[in-house]
Chain A
Amino acid sequence: MLSRVAENLYWMSRYLERAEDTARLLRVTRHLMLDYPGTPTLGWSSLVTITGAEAQFEESYPHQDEASVLAFLCLDRNYGGSILSSLGAARENMRTTREVMPREIWEEINQLYLTVSNYLASGIAQRRLDDFLRMVIRGCQTIVGLIEGSLSHGPARRFCDIGRSLERADMTTRILDVRSANLLPRTPEDLTPFENLQWMSVLKSLSAHQMYRQRTRSRVRGPEVARFVLQDQDFPRSIYRCLDDLCRIFQKLSRHGQALSGAATLRDALHSADGNQLASSPDELNGFIDRLQIGFGEIHQAIAATWFAGVDSPAPVLAQ
């Protein structure tokens, strides 16, 4: 497979996952806000914080209210992380790699992007918001399903899987980071029912509520949620699982040394971290998440150097 194509597939997959995760986050926040109207501080503004694009947001929007945040995160063409821009970027990356992917996948991405851009003219009416977000999530899931069901287990699929796992780990970390900053109790017994509901929203934005209940068999509590999201070995969106998936995929690619050791080191650090300790201290959790984020950046660098840019260096390793 061409290095350039591998790179495009990787980004296609990352952008698709970003669009889906953003839609999930919006959907859950909206439900939460409907239960607790009049508490704007905890809701919409924190979404902008999760994306890390506060500065750009403030340039275009005077208020951090629902309408502005939704416009920014759903349909803002100037913000690269909006659902529309992410799908557009996924489509552009897919467009240049169309010849290696089953045609249905291109048709689905193309269709999803066109459908979402049709909302540009009218905006998204409040009563249609949930339909819109569900449509985005379903569209992304359909594409993931098509990849799962119709793309051979070759390099194209591996680079799709790598992009998805890394982006998923990254988005999960962001959600946990922002939510925990104002949610983790300073003292462990300090939980109010309201905070529990917010933790529930963290789980729901990851579609993790049921899996959490099955795993922990206890009510939703902040520290346990944090541990589950960080360290659970089986839940597909837990950070541990994403890193473990990455390790498995890397092993199937040639010249995987650097990328694999990066992912494995991070995974093992996560495994041996004291979950209770992290969950009981917002500052420690915050520091640990920063470390994870730096690690993700390093894994990306390793991937790029090995399979994307790395082959630009004149080291003629001859392929079969």
Chain B
Amino acid sequence: MTSIDWSHYRSTSYDELMAKGGVPHRHAADLVQHLDALSDEDIAELKTTADVAIQVMGITFTVYSDAGMIDRAWPFDIIPRIIPANEWRRAEAGLAQRVRALNLFIDDLYHEQRIVKDGVFPAELLSESVNFRPQCVGISPPKGIWAHICGSDLVRDKDGTLYVLEDNLRIPSGVSYMLENRNVSKRVLPELFETGRILPVDDYPAQLYDMLASMSPRQGVEPRIVVMTPGIYNSAYFEHAFLAQQMGVELVEGSDLIVGTDDQVYMRTIDGLAQVDVIYRRVDDLFIDPEAFNPDSMLGVSGLMRAWRNGRVALCNAPGAGVADDKVVYAFVPKIIRYYLGEDALIPNVPSYLCMVEKEREYVLANLDKLVVKPANESGGYGMLVGPHATPAQRKEFAELIRANPRNYMAQPTLTLSTTPTLSEEGLGARHVDLRPFILSSGDSTYVTTGGLTRVALVKGSLVVNSSQGGGSKDTWIVETGED
């Protein structure tokens, strides 16, 4: 007896698995056939298998609430999201292009600022950027790479076009969940992996290690690499520990490190102090060094910036990389790509309106009910206005915010994000998804994860996919279909 009834499945947008007319896309045919053969009991059993795996593996994320810290089991939907490999290869090339240009852009901003002098990037945007770090001016990190690890969010609109929605160049997170989702998925749907058409994702930790090692100032010696975490109360602590473990390196907190009078960084070990060469830091710029930035920071290490500036240690991502991780700067990325690489962007941006430009601001203010308004420097979906879902009072409040500080806001049309079949209380439903791939840059090469982390808005009709706000996730399959 089959239990999945596709005849009632309706998407309000492009659907990742089902084409119009209730027929699966070619790349989803095997999965849909497999699901169709399952009874209600089978599906309940698979869900339990996944829940138990997640609980036993201790895959959690931390949310802050009025009641304090809560460690929640990672919300996972067993039905994967599938992208055909030929399409993914194009996306990969586009992401690599984007990050290459962004690194050139950041390096330029901290040196000659040619792009400003040439009138491509407005000087006032730079002077008002909260993520521009004057402490970084004139510093040349190895190979000119600032954003070693980038997490870019991809979304698809109604017509199936893939867009970059934003670039996260500071401390992007989620890659551990991408890897863990695959582990859970293999336990739940092993039969489908036997076809060999689902490309593996587990190369990431090795690639990350190699990239970090290539940044070591002590070449020719096996480098000592550490992952630096704010500590167990950070919402991404699970990921910090996971990555350190997968790479076989130490997970350190600020208090484990010390900068000597020789400007070398050391960690405190049971055998005494040990020299550190590369720090994959998951602590925000402003907290990494109380000497250079926030003097009250308890998370940082005094003198770390000094050590970095003198080339004694590599920091990944480099402090100051966030200058390009700004939703207003985002609007300039196609121009940035053209300026540095002489190429057109392979993946388009979502059309954006900059509130700092008078005409565009007027348009935004007149169309708040249709637009999504984003502050330049918030992440996690906070501080946003989703116009169509907002109350008149909320829209009024945002209009005032925009007028008071136009530089800080940009707006985009409300995309109807693509959907994918997702299990819910009422059975199978179409839910909106995005995708966060991760891009590693070593200067010599660029690596893009095979797919990425698919986040899904579990609430019907909702567009908010952030796990801190009720989003869930899915395994992402890049499936070889034999097409180029």
Contacts and interface: CB of A to CB of B under 8 A. Distances in A.
B57 interface: yes
Contacts of A199: none
The secondary structure that dominates the A interface is helix
Interface stretch (B23-31, B265-273, B379-387, B456-464): B265-273
A87 to B, nearest CB: 14
B251 interface: yes
B391 interface: no
B56 A316 contact: no
Given A3-B268, A4-B256, A319-B274, 18 more contacts: A2-B256, A5-B250, A6-B270, A92-B232, A96-B232, A99-B241, A99-B242, A99-B251, A110-B56, A111-B56, A159-B270, A311-B272, A311-B273, A316-B273, A318-B272, A318-B273, A318-B274, A319-B273
A2 B250 contact: yes
Contacts of A4: 253, 255-256, 268
Interface string B131-175: 000000000000000000000000000000000000000000000
A159 B274 CA distance: 19
B55 interface: yes
A311 B260 contact: no
A132 to B, nearest CB: 20
B295 interface: no
A155 interface: yes
B252 interface: yes
A98 B273 contact: no
Interface of A: 1-6, 92, 95-96, 98-100, 103, 106-107, 110-111, 114, 155, 159, 253-255, 307, 311-312, 314-320
Contacts of B274: 318-319
A57 to B, nearest CB: 27
Interface residues of B, number: 29
Contacts of B55: 110-111, 114
A4 B226 CA distance: 14
B213 interface: no
A99 B232 CA distance: 13
A181 B269 CA distance: 43
B193 to A, nearest CB: 21
A253 B270 CA distance: 9
Contacts of A317: 271-273
Contact of B241 (A98, A311, A314): A98
Contacts of A103: 57, 245
Nearest to A1: B270
A319 B272 contact: yes
B179 to A, nearest CB: 13
B244 interface: yes
A195 B250 CA distance: 53
B388 interface: no
Contact of B270 (A99, A110, A155): A155
Contacts of B242: 98-99
A107 B272 contact: no
B58 interface: yes
Contacts of B241: 95-96, 98-99
Contact of B244 (A92, A99, A311): A99
Nearest to B246: A99
A2 B56 contact: no
A118 B474 CA distance: 28
A88 to B, nearest CB: 12
Contacts of A320: 271
B251 A3 contact: no
Nearest to A106: B58
A103 B56 CA distance: 10
A307 B270 contact: yes
Interface in B224-277: 231-232, 241-242, 244-245, 249-253, 255-256, 258, 260, 266-275
Given A311-B270, A318-B272, A3 B58 contact: no
A111 B54 CA distance: 11
Contacts of B57: 103, 107
B244 A110 contact: no
Contact of B268 (A2, A99, A253): A2
Nearest to B224: A319
Given A111-B56, A318-B274, A319-B272, A2 B244 contact: no
A98 B245 contact: yes
Nearest to A110: B58
A114 B51 CA distance: 14
Contacts of A253: 270
A254 B271 contact: yes
Contacts of B249: 99
Contacts of B269: 1-3, 311, 319
